[in-house]
């Protein structure tokens, strides 16, 4: 990929990465949404309409946008998060801003340091530090989500 964009102006490389991030995320979102819709006409329909699934959809509608935006900074998790957002029917009013922010961050990262990090990673130079960084970031995100959920439960009025 680096050879493809060598010599291009920074703005053109940034625009290419931004557009590819938006296209990939939205294609994945709509594929997940289509699978969810198609499942509604199959033997899975009874399972898809269970109260547990409805509650999960509500959580994704409330908390999903930050998770979608942060997923662009991960490797491998981004596709799963975008497909889940589509299958759980995250409203586009929340999904679109999250993908714009995520795509901007992804484009900025890969336009500036992304190729150097990937080259070092593949060369084995940064592997221990990159793995430690990914684990630390995942733990930080998980802890933040758990603390936020506890605070929301504690502050929510009794039902």
In a domain, 103, yes or no: yes
Dist. CA 115–CA 120, nearest whole Å: 8
Q: Does residue 140 lie in a domain region?
A: no
Q: What is the pLDDT along the chain (159 residues), one digit of tens a residue?
A: 556 666 778 788 889 889 999 999 999 889 888 877 777 677 666 655 667 656 656 666 777 788 888 888 887 778 878 888 888 888 898 899 999 999 999 898 888 876 666 566 566 655 566 666 666 777 777 777 777 777 777 777 776
Residue 96 lies in domain = 2-112
| 39 located within any domain | yes
- Residue 114: its pLDDT value, please? 67
C-alpha distances out from residue 149 to 15, 30, 57, 63, Å? 36, 28, 15, 9
The answer as to whether 12 is a domain residue is yes
Q: How many domains does the chain have?
A: 1
Q: Tell me if 98 is assigned to some domain.
A: yes
Tell me the whole-structure pTM to 2 decimals: 0.61
Pick from 94, 93, 98, 108: nearest CA to 17:
108
């Amino acid at each position: 990929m680096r050879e493809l964009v060598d010599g291009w102006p920074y703005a053109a490389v940034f625009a290419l990465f931004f557009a590819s991030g938006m296209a990939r995320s939205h294609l994945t979102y709509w594929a997940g949404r289509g699978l969810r819709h198609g499942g509604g006409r199959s033997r899975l329909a009874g399972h898809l309409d269970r109260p547990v699934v409805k509650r999960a959809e509500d959580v994704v509608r409330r908390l999903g946008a930050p998770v979608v935006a942060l997923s662009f900074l991960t490797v491998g998790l981004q596709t799963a998060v975008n497909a889940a957002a589509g299958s759980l029917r995250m409203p586009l009013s929340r999904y679109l801003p999250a993908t714009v922010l995520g795509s901007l961050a992804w484009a900025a990262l890969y336009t500036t340091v992304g190729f150097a990090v990937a080259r070092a990673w593949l060369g084995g130079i940064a592997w221990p530090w990159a793995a430690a960084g990914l684990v630390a970031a995942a733990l930080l995100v998980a802890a933040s989500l758990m603390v936020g959920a506890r605070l929301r439960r504690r502050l929510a009025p009794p039902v």
